[in-house]
Structure 1
């Protein structure tokens, strides 16, 4: 007996797929199910019907035995429908939401020695996502009530809608929504004054883009701070999001690390954006990852990319100048581009926008905005999900992250450790190194500080300034990262000065614990959500382009896409499924045509 007609149908299909035999449905209703073998010379037939009360299904009769051929070529099976495949891959999609159609094809082939078509695998994944996370359009209807429930359970959570009007005053067309959870907003107050922003393509039915903002704690670990889903990534959408983000983070001056996208860059030159660099509201810096990606796209030189990456991360001016000269001799066009990138019309250069050496310490040593790669490790299915499931994932995974990080930070504080583990390890390594340095001379420049010349084991000389208003080294590590270098530590030891005073307060172990102390409170099940009487939001119905389904994962920060080296097109015949030719030249098609002409 079976619980439902669907269970009967799946069982019969699974049996025939394994046996490599094909069947057709003669009758399928609420109380009856009749199928027979597709081969007209085979008399096999099955009859199933519901019980008296209609609460179960039972196979009543099976007529005859299969006498048809069960030879298969390992390719697609006519009875292997997308709906059937969707039930097979539920666990796969749940564990790995970004599973590709190719992976689904391989998974099914391993089970049944039969490979479904690419289209079937794609559609099966869509059905599996619907089953696990809800239907795409219905998900928009649940979004506003769910976010409202989160706001009620977590006071201080910020949500901002962007929409267009419709003929119905109670329904608006969705253009974007941004959200930041209250615990993350509170925890950010104890983070370093640095955020990075990035975006990624959503691969669901309605497409769109997801914007992500992350902050950094005392360990350099990322804190997912704010999210947004927008219909299109345009100047207006970035302007809307960044103005809302300023309300979330408050008036605190921040260093913002991003890619080289014009929509983002223009905001830092607008006095009313809330991020105007001219008045110190923000300090904009380029992500070194995207900088190197731009160099690779423009000049196609891997050695040049490695050189640019090395130069961008140097903290000493002498090494930076040496690296720039090497770039000049390697590729003068790349050198000219690096000189001008990020520069305003009245500026000769803007090295501070991409070079650690010229940064001024605003980055805190953080070079890449692709900390969002780590975010997608936290939210592995995020690009594949319907919108409410997407928001729910950001909530549940953020809550779990806070629990884990809070536990780790508590141990550090209990052990009476002054700084985060990362900074403590850095200080220990530099203290071990300082014994190799030799102080050559000490000169009192004024009543307030001394100027000390120090020589390293490799005979490199650095100048350290230490006193009431001067705490710096010519190597710039201390100024750029907020952690004293080995040269400065050596002078502190010589002058009996407490080096702990030189560590940036953002690295304090108590700050680390304060970052992760706020707690998330679950909004509960839909039945427990408070009544929502606000505006309903409907998605813009997106007309997909004809052709093969496409999955664009990351946004391109530079024009054009990089093609994988050695990539070639492979033809697979649509009739015999063999590789190396098309259906137009298929010998099987010619054989069928000749048979038809003879008859």
Structure 2
């Protein structure tokens, strides 16, 4: 293509201008119309021809354009041009009719690529500053969805492509495992999915002796059911760890409790010991006599409260009765929120892009922390920090020699 005949934003149209395709012609004409505060209507639209005219042509405005696809170059070229508008269009609103979601998608593609979770309000601000026209929330939302498709692929096609990508992942990362269930598609901690197809992302996480968060497994599911949790926990036991004595922290979701009560899945003692997440309890008291005193005050507030909390074994939710030290000081599933934060801006993507992004972000997470660990070892920081930590723990009763935290599972719709 001759660069001298290439259109750029803010430029007038003229005979001889060339474009890569028909959509590029449309976008140029739309942007020209907005810049001139004018409009147009389509006279003829065919596979190889596109003709538009001013809506005030009957009043004498000669604005007109004809573009065709060249058989020699496969480019689109402006072959007729009627010059600038000679009319005034007084009917334009603040939201230009030609500023449609397709055109907006081309404006915001870079923004969406950088941050797929970008807020609609920011898209509206960007378009107003760039074009001078205000767009509706719905139009901005539709444009964002189209930009996501342009960048990350079609939603429906993404499901068809997923098995091939997972197989490729398994080949380049030996030891990785995946399973596809055709009745319900799953992935343990839960977080909202915001894309075209809603669902739940389940995450299983733990923590190493250096307090680094380790994501272990993921699943995308339609909802939290007994079948889902049984499927996920069985694969977790089969493909992630067969170790005995694991402490499992989770919320009191009925489906999770029912799943781990199934001895065949492998999460009953002595293979695993269950603890509850107590996210909404303000303080964690390790001393029994202080705990009992405060608990008594709490129970005195209501007989119903006393009956309810009395029905839950204290070792499930209190640090004071964590006699075997399996909690390692952890009282909630908040570690999973760290992983949620890493994955936050990819939760509204097509399924293959979402899985690919989860994999690459976790790989980057491990790589960065591995580099920091090597740097710490080389500088002697790890030895010094561990020595100080050991001296501090020597003065305490809690878990001096334990190096691995419990496994956390939870979910959000």
TM-score (norm 1): 0.59
1:392 aligns with 2:382: no
Cα gap change, 1:407 to 1:139, in 2 (>3 Å): same
Cα gap change, 1:407 to 1:146, in 2 (>3 Å): same
Any conservation in 2 of the 1:139–1:387 contact (CA below 8 Å)? yes
Aligned match of 2:412 in 534, 555, 562? 555
Distance 1:336 1:72 in 2: 67
Distance 2:163 2:67 in 1: 45
RMSD: 2.7
Distance 1:406 1:371 in 2: 19
Distance 2:388 2:102 in 1: 54
1:285 aligns with 2:265: no
1:251 aligns with 2:243: yes
Distance 1:251 1:352 in 2: 21
Matched ranges for 1:203-242 at <5 A = 203-242=194-233
Q: What's the secondary structure of 2:74's corresponding residue?
A: coil
1:202 aligns with 2:193: yes
Deviant stretches of 4+, over 6 Å: none
Any conservation in 1 of the 2:170–2:176 contact (CA below 8 Å)? yes
Any conservation in 2 of the 1:159–1:177 contact (CA below 8 Å)? no
1:121 aligns with 2:40: no
Match of 2:47 in 1: 30
Which ranges in structure 1 are unaligned for 5 or more consecutive residues? 165-174, 179-196, 293-307, 344-349, 432-470, 484-502, 508-553, 557-599
Distance 1:32 1:120 in 2: 28
Cα gap change, 1:150 to 1:216, in 2 (>3 Å): same
Q: What's the secondary structure of 2:231's corresponding residue?
A: helix
Cα gap change, 1:261 to 1:424, in 2 (>3 Å): farther
1:314 aligns with 2:285: yes
Match of 1:363 in 2: 327
Matched ranges for 1:527-538 at <5 A = none
Q: Once the 2 structures are TM-superposed, how far is the Cα of residue 204 of structure 1 from its aligned partner?
A: 2.4
Match of 1:267 in 2: 259
1:324 aligns with 2:295: yes
Distance 2:307 2:286 in 1: 21
Residues 457-477 of structure 1 show CA distances to partners (whole Å, capped at 9, x for unaligned) of xxxxxxxxxxxxxx9x8xxx5
Higher-Rg structure is 1
Any conservation in 2 of the 1:42–1:68 contact (CA below 8 Å)? no
Q: Once the 2 structures are TM-superposed, how far is the Cα of residue 335 of structure 1 from its aligned partner?
A: 4.9
Match of 1:47 in 2: 66
Match of 1:536 in 2: none
TM-score (norm 2): 0.84
Cα gap change, 1:506 to 1:73, in 2 (>3 Å): same
Q: Once the 2 structures are TM-superposed, how far is the Cα of residue 70 of structure 1 from its aligned partner?
A: 5.1
Q: What's the secondary structure of 1:161's corresponding residue?
A: coil
Residues 257-300 of structure 1 show CA distances to partners (whole Å, capped at 9, x for unaligned) of 12221111122322222111xx32211122222xx2xxxxxxxx
Distance 2:71 2:271 in 1: 74
Match of 2:124 in 1: 105
Any conservation in 1 of the 2:67–2:78 contact (CA below 8 Å)? yes
Match of 1:82 in 2: 101
Cα gap change, 1:107 to 1:285, in 2 (>3 Å): farther
1:354 aligns with 2:317: yes
More off after superposition, 222-231 vs 319-328 = 319-328
Q: What's the secondary structure of 2:224's corresponding residue?
A: coil
